[in-house]
C-alpha cells in the first residue's frame, strides 16, 4: 500500500506494487457501480482510494520519485478500473495524458509542482472541449500575458474528472494562434465548475462544464502544446490507448457479470435438454466467441502499451508510426469487443436480464457512450492507408 510521509508525499511502490494495490480495490469499486450509475452519484471515495494507493501516480517519472510505469502501466491501471466501473476509469484518462505533457513540455517548476502533488494523491482533469465551432480543433478559450502571469478566459464542457480534481489542464489559444495548456488550481479565483453532464452512459465521470473568468496563473504553469503533440513522442497514441483500455475493461467487466448472471439466474432453453443454463452448449459456444474478442482486445492493448513505451525510449518517426498503428488496432478491437459483449449480455441472460432493477443495461450504455470518442472508422482508415500505400498516420492529439 501507499503511505503518506511526514511531508504529505506518498511513498509509491514499484509499478507491480501499484497494479497489485489497484487490483485489490476492484471488488469494492464494482460493488456500488450499479447504484452509483442509477443515482448519478460521483465515485469520490472510489477515485480517492485509487489515488491513495498510487494508482494515478504510476506514470510519474522515476526522476521525480515515481514508479515510472509509462504507457503500459497507465493502460493496465485504466483497464483494471474499467472492469469494475468504467466511470472510475475514465475520470483519470486525461490525468495520465496531461502528466505526459508536463513531462514533455513543462517547465522545471511545473514538473516539480505537478509531480509532487500527484505523488501526494492529487489529480489532474481536462478542460479541453468547447461547444460550437465547426471542428474539435476550434478553440475560443484565450490566454494572454499580463506581467508575470498568464490570464485565461473561456468555457469548456465535457471536462472529464473536473469535479473531483485539484488541477485543471486548460487548452487555450494565444493571440498569435499558438495553443498552450495552462495548469490551474480547480479552486482558483475565477474558476466555476458545473455538474451538468447528462450523457446516457458514463454518467458519473465528473464531466462538468468549466468556466474561466480572468483566471491568473504563473507563466511557469503554461506549457506549449504543439511540439508535444506533433513530435515523435507517442503523445496522441498514449491518449488513444487509454480510451482503448476503458473499452477493453468494459468488455471484460460485462462478460464477467454476464457469466455470473447465467450461473445464478438464467433459465436453460428447453431444447438444450440440460438442467442449468451454463450447461447449454450453444450458450457456452457464444461465451467462447466473446472470450476470443475480449482476449484479442486485451492482447492488442498490451502490445500497444509496449509500442508507446518504445517511442519514449527511441523518439523516432518509425517508432511513433508503429505506436499509432498498434493503438489504432487496439482501439478497433476494444470498441468491437465492448459493444459486442454488452449487447450479447442480454442474449445470454435471457428475459430476466432486462429487469431494470438489475441495471445490467448500464454496461451497454457505458460502452455505447464511451466508444463515441474518436470514431474507429478513422482508425481503420489509418490502418488501411498504411497497409495499401505505406502511408504513416499524421501525428496529433488523436494518433
Whole-angstrom distance, CA of residue 113 vs CA of residue 43: 26
Per-residue pLDDT tens digits for 317-359: 999 999 999 999 999 999 999 999 999 999 999 999 999 999 9
Per-residue pLDDT tens digits for 147-177: 999 999 999 999 999 999 999 999 999 999 9
The three three-digit cell numbers of residue 68, written as one number: 515510472
User: Which sequence spans correspond to the domains of the chain?
Assistant: 3-123, 127-224, 231-389
Whole-angstrom distance, CA of residue 105 vs CA of residue 92: 20
Whole-angstrom distance, CA of residue 358 vs CA of residue 39: 13
> pLDDT-based confidence at 133, cuts 50/70/90?
low
Predicted local confidence at residue 397, as pLDDT:
74
DSSP per residue over 242-268, as a string? Answer: HHHHHHHHHHHHHHHHHHHHHHHTPPP
Q: What angle do CA 79, 126, 152 make, to 5 degrees?
A: 170
Average pLDDT, the chain: 94
Predicted local confidence at residue 157, as pLDDT:
93
> pLDDT-based confidence at 137, cuts 50/70/90?
confident
Per-residue pLDDT tens digits for 362-398: 999 999 999 998 899 999 999 999 999 999 998 887 7
> pLDDT-based confidence at 3, cuts 50/70/90?
very low
Residue 5: is its pLDDT beyond 50? no
267: left (phi over 0), alpha (psi -120 to 50) or beta: beta
Predicted local confidence at residue 8, as pLDDT:
53
Fold of the domain spanning 127-224: Butyryl-CoA Dehydrogenase, subunit A; domain 2 (2.40.110)
The beta strand positions in 7-88, using DSSP E, are 10-11
The three three-digit cell numbers of residue 92, written as one number: 483519470
Residue with grid cell 522515476, as numbered in its chain: 62
DSSP per residue over 274-309, as a string? Answer: -SSGGG-HHHHHHHHHHHHHHHHHHHHHHHHHHHHH
pTM of the model: 0.95
Per-residue pLDDT tens digits for 23-68: 999 999 999 999 999 999 999 999 999 999 999 999 999 999 999 9
Query: Which comes out higher in pLDDT, residue 68 or 132?
Result: 68
Asked if 238 and 301 touch (Cβ cutoff 8 Å), the reply is: no
> pLDDT-based confidence at 131, cuts 50/70/90?
confident
Q: If we measure between CA atoms, which residue out of 190, 186, 182, 251 comes closest to residue 223? A: 182
Instruction: State the distance between the two ends of the chain, measured CA to CA, in whole angstroms.
Output: 35
Percent of the chain with pLDDT over 70: 96
The three three-digit cell numbers of residue 216, written as one number: 491568473
> pLDDT-based confidence at 253, cuts 50/70/90?
very high
Predicted local confidence at residue 12, as pLDDT:
65
8: left (phi over 0), alpha (psi -120 to 50) or beta: left
Which CATH superfamily does the domain covering 3-123 fall into? Acyl-CoA dehydrogenase/oxidase, N-terminal domain (1.10.540.10)
Whole-angstrom distance, CA of residue 33 vs CA of residue 187: 28
Cα diameter, the chain: 80
Q: Which helix (H) or strand (E) holds 181?
A: strand 179-185
Whole-angstrom distance, CA of residue 326 vs CA of residue 24: 29
Which top CATH class is 231-389? Answer: mainly alpha
Whole-angstrom distance, CA of residue 309 vs CA of residue 307: 5
Predicted local confidence at residue 7, as pLDDT:
45
Predicted local confidence at residue 136, as pLDDT:
64
Residue 10: is its pLDDT beyond 70? no
Amino acid at each position: 500500500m501507499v503511505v503518506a510521509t511526514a511531508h504529505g508525499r506518498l511513498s509509491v511502490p514499484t509499478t507491480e506494487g501499484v497494479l497489485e494495490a489497484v487490483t485489490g480495490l476492484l471488488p469494492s469499486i464494482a460493488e456500488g457501480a450499479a447504484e452509483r450509475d442509477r443515482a448519478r452519484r460521483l465515485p469520490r471515495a472510489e477515485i480517492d482510494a485509487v489515488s491513495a494507493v498510487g494508482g494515478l501516480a504510476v506514470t510519474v517519472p522515476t526522476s521525480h520519485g515515481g514508479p515510472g510505469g509509462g504507457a503500459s502501466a497507465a493502460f493496465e491501471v485504466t483497464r483494471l478500473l474499467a472492469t469494475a466501473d468504467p466511470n472510475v476509469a475514465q475520470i483519470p484518462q486525461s490525468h495520465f495524458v496531461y502528466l505526459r505533457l508536463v513531462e514533455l513540455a513543462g517547465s522545471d517548476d511545473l514538473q516539480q509542482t505537478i509531480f509532487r502533488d500527484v505523488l501526494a494523491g492529487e489529480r489532474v482533469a481536462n478542460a479541453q472541449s468547447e461547444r460550437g465551432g465547426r471542428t474539435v480543433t476550434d478553440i475560443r478559450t484565450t490566454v494572454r500575458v499580463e506581467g508575470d502571469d498568464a490570464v485565461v478566459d473561456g468555457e469548456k464542457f465535457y471536462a472529464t474528472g473536473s469535479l473531483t480534481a485539484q488541477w485543471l489542464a486548460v487548452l487555450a489559444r494565444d493571440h498569435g494562434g499558438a495553443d498552450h495548456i495552462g495548469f490551474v488550481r480547480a479552486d482558483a479565483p475565477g474558476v466555476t465548475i458545473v455538474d451538468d453532464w447528462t450523457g446516457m452512459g458514463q454518467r458519473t465521470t465528473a464531466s462538468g462544464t468549466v468556466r474561466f473568468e480572468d483566471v491568473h496563473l504563473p507563466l511557469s504553469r503554461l506549457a506549449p502544446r504543439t511540439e508535444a503533440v506533433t513530435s515523435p513522442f507517442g503523445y496522441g497514441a498514449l491518449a488513444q490507448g487509454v480510451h482503448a483500455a476503458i473499452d477493453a475493461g468494459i468488455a471484460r467487466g460485462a462478460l464477467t457479470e454476464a457469466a455470473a448472471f447465467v450461473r445464478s439466474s438464467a433459465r436453460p432453453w428447453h431444447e438444450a435438454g440440460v438442467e442449468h443454463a451454463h450447461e447449454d452448449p450453444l450458450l457456452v459456444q457464444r461465451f467462447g466467441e466473446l472470450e476470443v474478442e475480449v482476449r484479442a482486445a486485451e492482447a492488442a492493448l498490451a502490445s500497444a502499451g509496449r509500442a508507446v513505451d518504445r517511442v519514449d525510449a527511441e523518439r523516432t518517426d518509425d517508432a511513433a508510426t508503429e505506436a499509432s498503428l498498434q493503438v489504432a488496432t487496439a482501439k478497433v478491437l476494444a470498441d468491437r469487443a465492448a459493444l459486442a459483449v454488452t449487447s450479447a449480455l442480454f442474449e445470454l441472460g435471457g428475459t430476466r436480464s432486462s429487469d431494470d432493477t438489475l441495471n445490467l443495461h448500464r454496461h451497454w450504455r457505458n460502452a455505447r457512450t464511451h466508444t463515441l470518442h474518436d470514431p474507429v472508422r478513422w482508425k481503420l482508415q489509418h490502418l488501411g492507408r498504411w497497409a495499401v500505400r505505406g502511408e504513416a498516420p499524421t501525428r496529433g492529439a488523436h494518433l
